[in-house]
Amino acid sequence: MRLLKTGAFVRQARSARICTSYTLAAQPVCPPSLQYSRSIPHSQTPATIRWSSTQTVTQPFPEQSVPPFREVDPSKTATQSSSPTSDDTAFKEHLQTIGKESKIVHESGKSGSLILGKPYLFDQTTNVPQSILDLVGRNLYDNPDHPLCITRKLIESCFPSPEFNHFIQADPVVSVHDNFDVLGFPKDHPGRSRTDTYYLNSSHLLRTHTSAHQHAAFKSLAPEDGSVTSGYTICADVYRRDSIDKSHFPIFHQMEGAKVWALDGDISQTRYNRMLSRTQKIATDLRNLPQTDFLVTEQNDNYHPETNPIQEEHDKKETVLLARHLKRSLEFLIESIFRAAQSASNQTTSGNAPIKARWIEAYFPFTSPSYEIEVEWNNTWLELLGCGIVQHPILNQAGLREHVGWAWGLGIERFAMLLFGIPDIRLFWSTDPRFLKQFSQGKITQFEPFSKFPACYKDIAFWIRSAPASSTPVNSNLGSSGVAAAAGGDATKASPAETQPAAFHENDIMEVVRDVAGSLAEDVTLVDEFVHPSSGRKSLCYRINYRSLERTLQNDEVNALHDEVGKRMVGLHGVELR
């Protein structure tokens, strides 16, 4: 959950939040690290995986302006950039001329960066550090021999073309509007805050989920004579400020999928009759889905009018069928993944307990009803993906006025860790041939650890500031330059409705550690917190676990890193070291 800020609750929340998602439903409690074992027990015969059926389209979506979602009043949107001055335009041209791809440039009181060839001018909302920009453009999901790409292909194979188009979207910069507004995110949704999201400036950010491309992808499905394509998947890298542990990295990869059905039959018929034919079509498609033996212990069609309602524009019977089609399609996906993992580890099925899965209700701004599926793994319910029936305005705005449909989203790393037995999320970013050489296109093989280098932990204890960060925070990538921030000049907020940020946010120390130690930081945990009985000041102590996956770290090197973390905490966040 992203609502909690500091203290013991943060630890509790972190351990419950392995698969970061925008659901507000109660989260399953998972262990802080995902140590997947080599096999996943189940009792079915291997599924046929249609590896060859996918073709991926790169960069499919032109830039476009997207109309607002029904709840959003554009006149109240505070995330538009202020109009550019000629200086700004000149600076952007300068960025293009010098061509320093993904490097933050500070010159003549202005800052900005060229990202995949496009210039962005920074302002007081900017909070993206150089260490994150350095990783933009790696496109791990597009390297055929990388576990993330192999996993993507396996997932795509469960949604075959030509019924589904498969998109990858290399440019991670999207507008605030596409990432949040068009999807119906409330103005005070915690995902919008600068503590959770990397802003390039008040109008653009590093996408926090592939749903930022939903509108464009739905547009690509807009009716075209004779098209048999009624669905899509999208794969992309996504960015979130987050905790540091073996299952969290500030850049991870998501996939998103959707399918729609149009009103069916002759246009001379009434809309109602065409809707009935559409419902029939969904029922037929449901019967034609591949069979699964997957054991779903909990599944019901009960919708809660308050918390998870059927949309007012939708017919109940049709929604029930749609939701079943959605669930069955995703059960097939999950079964395929788990079976592939099992055959990779050469497990025999006999004697293994069947996989237990359950559907639970969830909340996403862009679907209703919404669900999540959880699978029991090592006595823990793992949240694997979110999904639901697409909000009607989203389809309408994309030109799909006669359609209903479903959508889902998942984090690829979680599945890849499970499939390949990869114990630490940082490994996906490794350029070490001992890691990369282990995998090849179309094959699920178990990761063989090539090292166990020693960890070295160090504690950092500090007093936090007693007052909330001011509107000119110590934490600025910009110094005093830049234009007014998104939230009426309050640079600590990305939206005026955002609640006042706390004096200290745990993601701030995570960011500093990431920036200083990069992938040498394995884990950062709060180990102590204390409020002084007379002054009321609060002290926190974090334990930073330094470990390289590729070599033994020297003591002096770790000490230097740790000293730098302390200095930056003082300089950027105004803490007092103890």
Contacting residues toward ligand DAH, per CB under 6 A: 21-22, 209, 211, 256, 364, 367, 386-388, 407-409
The minimum distance between CB 294 and ligand DAH, in angstroms, equals 20
**Which lies closer to ligand DAH via its Cβ, residue 17 or residue 568?**
17
Shortest reach from residue 217's CB to ligand DAH, in Å: 10
Least gap, CB of 317 to ligand DAH (angstroms): 21
Strands 367-377 and 403-411, bridge-based pairing:
unpaired
Alpha helices in 40-174 (DSSP H): 86-98, 130-133, 147-157
Nearer to ligand DAH, 357 or 387 (CB): 387
The minimum distance between CB 239 and ligand DAH, in angstroms, equals: 11
Cβ nearer to ligand DAH, comparing 60 with 119: 60
Nearer to ligand DAH by Cβ, of 149 and 407: the residue is: 407
Judging by DSSP bridges, how do beta strands 456-463 and 538-546 pair with one another? antiparallel
When the beta carbons of 173 and 410 are compared against ligand DAH, the nearer one is 410
Coil vs helix vs strand at 381? strand
Q: Which residues lie closer than 8 Å to 288 by C-beta, 6 or more apart?
A: none
**How far apart, in whole angstroms, are the C-alpha atoms of residue 227 and residue 221?**
9
To the nearest whole angstrom, how small is the minimum distance from the Cβ of residue 399 to ligand DAH?
18
Whose Cβ is closer to ligand DAH: residue 119's or residue 409's?
Answer: 409
Which residue's CB is nearer to ligand DAH, number 127 or number 391? 391
As measured in angstroms, the least distance from the Cβ of 20 to ligand DAH is 7
Min dist CB 407 to ligand DAH, Å, is 4
Q: How far apart are CA 233 and CA 160, in angstroms?
A: 10
| Closer Cβ to ligand DAH, 39 or 247, answer by number | 247
**CB distance 458 to 558 below 8 Å:** yes
Question: Which C-beta is closer to ligand DAH: that of 24 or that of 57?
Answer: 24
- The four Cα atoms 109, 115, 117, 122 give a dihedral, to 10 degrees, of -30
Provide the 3-class DSSP secondary structure of residue 272. helix
Could you tell me the smallest distance in angstroms from the CB atom of residue 371 to ligand DAH?
A: 9
> What is the C-alpha to C-alpha distance for residues 138 and 209, in angstroms, rounded to an integer?
17
| 164-168, strands of its sheet edge to edge | 56-58, 164-168, 231-239, 251-262, 403-411, 380-390, 367-377, 357-364, 296-298
Closest CA to 217 of 444, 21, 64: 64
Nearer to ligand DAH, 111 or 151 (CB): 151
521 vs 220: CA distance, rounded Å: 41
List Cβ neighbours of 270 (8 Å cut-off, separation of 6 or more): none
Give the nearest distance from C-beta 489 to ligand DAH in angstroms: 30
| Residue with tokens 């919008």, as numbered in its chain | 192
CA 519 – CA 56 distance, rounded (Å)? 30
Residue nearest to ligand DAH (CB): 409
Give min distance, CB of 154 to ligand DAH, in A.
19
Distance, CA of 385 to CA of 210 (rounded, Å): 13
